[in-house]
Amino acid sequence: MATIGRFQKGDEIFHAKVVDGELFRLHGEVFGAPSFDRKPTPRKGVKTLVPVVPSKIIAVGLNYADHVREMKRELPKEPLFWFKATTSLLADGGKIEIPYREHRTDFEAELAIVIGRKVRNVSPTQAGRHIFGYTAAQDISDRTIQKAESQWARCKSFDTFTPLGPYVETVFDPNESSIQQFQNGLLRQNSNISQLIFKPAALVSFISTNMTLLPGDVILTGTPGGVGPIQSGDKLEVRIQGITPLCNTVK
């Protein structure tokens, strides 16, 4: 497998391998050993969905030093994480909705880990065996609420606040890839995944010591410096080297 997406045609929802824009339907369990059609499925009438349906979304904060500085916080000694509502998920091409016009609402480009095997108490050296792949994400944040509360779940869990996708890359090296955020074509965030304080394997290991991770679960690995406000009409694009870009608009 390489590039896997989740799609809908009429009432049918299916996974497929994406090759040069063509869809080859998947048969069997997506997190198992599936087979694929040899002939592509016509794309007419096919809608791209969020690539996985997680039991939980785990967001990691303050995982790039430059973002820690811009948020005026101290470097964490161990990963800082919280839950985001699964109802906050938004597919590629969907519209991010700002619930309070008077609040500051920010973009945050992130690399997302997708878990492929049930895991509990895994070591960092074995964690990679439990990762299905990686995809692009946004962790949209209501800063006004975030500054007013000590818990971050509410400010980041509004509907549409977690754009994800469009596809999962199952063959991807997370150690040396650029990560960028574009807002209306202008570069706003520009970093490299190598700058993560806690790397993907370390995150999976640490989180698995606190809870069981299930296939399809999503871990947002944190955002680099350069976060900024969004407003209605904006076009946002997350570009991670080696991963299909994630594009959304704001209303």
Quote the CA–CA distance of 52 and 30 in Å, as a whole number.
Answer: 10
Write down the pLDDT at residue 82: 95
pLDDT tens for 118-138 read 999 999 999 999 999 999 999
pTM over 0.85: yes
Q: What is the pLDDT of residues 31-88, one digit of tens each?
A: 999 999 999 999 999 999 999 999 999 999 999 988 988 888 888 899 999 999 999 9
- Sequence ranges of the domains in the chain: 3-48, 57-250
Q: What is the pLDDT of residues 227-241, one digit of tens each?
A: 999 999 999 999 999
The DSSP call for residue 102 is T
Which fold, 3-48?
A: SH3 type barrels. (2.30.30)
The pLDDT of residue 74 is 85
The answer on pLDDT for 1 being more than 80 is no
DSSP-H helix ranges across the chain: 65-70, 124-127, 143-148, 200-208
Architecture, CATH, for domain 57-250:
Alpha-Beta Complex (3.90)
